[in-house]
Amino acid sequence: METLELLEPQTTQTTDFLPLNGTDYLELYVSNARQAAHYFQTAFGFQPLAHAGLETGLRDRESYVIVQDKIRLVLTSPLHSNTELGRHIDQHGDGVRVVALWVDNATEAFQETTSRGARPFMEPIREEDENGYVVRSGIHTYGDTVHVFVERTGYNGAFLPGFKPWNPHYQPAPVGLKFVDHMVGNVGWNEMNTWTRFYAEVMGFSQLVSFDDKDISTDYTALMSKVMSNGNGRIKFPINEPAEGRKKSQIEEYIHFYEGAGVQHIAVATDNIIETVVALRDRGVEFLRVPNSYYDDLKGRIGQIDEEIETLRPLGILVDRDEEGYLLQIFTKPITPRPTLFFEIIQRKGAKSFGKGNFKALFEAIEREQELRGTL
């Protein structure tokens, strides 16, 4: 009996040593933050929130913070050559550098994770201005990606100390994006278990589901994936690695162009995917398309749903069902010149899964795009 107890994974313990309230912000390093902010405002309906740059006393970088409901994006560019920021962009292209997590105690979060083996990125630091103080700390995760823990109970400013509210004339309407549902990391060959172990041991996450290459393979592409979730389920990180297929896996293509492991997609939730996708399409967001035949036998595969199939079909919205309900989802094409980062729009109607039933149709769509890029 005692031996069995010893085998219990540590994540079943009742006290969560790393309580997370949610995603605080995602910071993208981009070559032109000003234009990227305009793109995310125009195309995705983000609202201006805060700004930091030369005017606020920063000498080496400029950041725009945009928001839609609970989703905060920070877009940051360097102001000079030979910066760490510039090198990140040079190597990876535009991409996600910081996945910031909202905590009640950033000092404890740092101690709990680094004592379990996390590589420190930022020692706890208290920053303050006339609106109060924020404590942040950070650790490294896969590739050049980092997690920053943000403790903001003592703060009521627009974003963080050092940022000024940004309230330009141009404020296109939101499109109904609510919060980050999950965020996917792509890692290299045979590295999936290294990083799922990292999230389990260092951050106290547990594994929700796994998919192997038999679940997720087409004629060509193949990948393996495990979904890691924190204690209260607010943070979900699927981790993908390439699997051997007849041609190049989409994960391998990502790793090749990102030049390392990194964030593959940000899944954002909406309460009305039809309205959201209609708005996004009108604003120029391009989505992956599955063949029309996907919809012909959809009702047979997923049963009764509230939405009309004939409404979903022209929009290319996908549906999948699990034991608890169903979900609707759609994936944008990469939003960067390199075929790396993209967004997923998801609406959950009970389902807690990730659309496994759509993988095959979806990956065939991705392969058609890969073929056009000559990277299959």
Binding site for Fe ion (CB under 5 A): 267, 344
Q: Which amino acid is at 183?
A: M
Tokens of 152: 């903001």
Dist CA 240 CA 187 (whole Å): 6
Given a contact cutoff of 8 angstroms between Cβ atoms, the answer to whether 289 and 365 are in contact is yes
> Given the complex with Fe ion, which of 89 and 318 has the nearer CB atom?
318
Q: Which residue has the tokens 């969560």?
A: 16
What minimum distance in Å lies between the beta carbon of 83 and Fe ion?
32
What minimum distance in Å lies between the beta carbon of 354 and Fe ion?
5
Largest Cα–Cα distance in the chain?
67
> Given the complex with Fe ion, which of 267 and 319 has the nearer CB atom?
267
What minimum distance in Å lies between the beta carbon of 331 and Fe ion?
8
> Given the complex with Fe ion, which of 101 and 239 has the nearer CB atom?
239
DSSP code per residue over 37-91: HHHHHHHH--EEEEEESGGGT-SSEEEEEEEETTEEEEEEEESSSS-HHHHHHHH
Rounded to 5 degrees, φ, ψ at 292 are -55, -30
What minimum distance in Å lies between the beta carbon of 190 and Fe ion?
22
> Given the complex with Fe ion, which of 63 and 240 has the nearer CB atom?
240
Dist CA 216 CA 333 (whole Å): 19
> Given the complex with Fe ion, which of 267 and 330 has the nearer CB atom?
267
Pick the closest to residue 23 from 185, 336, 233 (CA basis): 233
Sign for the CA dihedral angle at 288, 292, 296, 297 comes to negative
> Given the complex with Fe ion, which of 252 and 344 has the nearer CB atom?
344
SS (H, E, C) 212-244: CCCCCECCCCEEEEEEEECCCCCCEEEEEEECC
What minimum distance in Å lies between the beta carbon of 358 and Fe ion?
10
What minimum distance in Å lies between the beta carbon of 14 and Fe ion?
30
What minimum distance in Å lies between the beta carbon of 330 and Fe ion?
11
> Given the complex with Fe ion, which of 24 and 344 has the nearer CB atom?
344
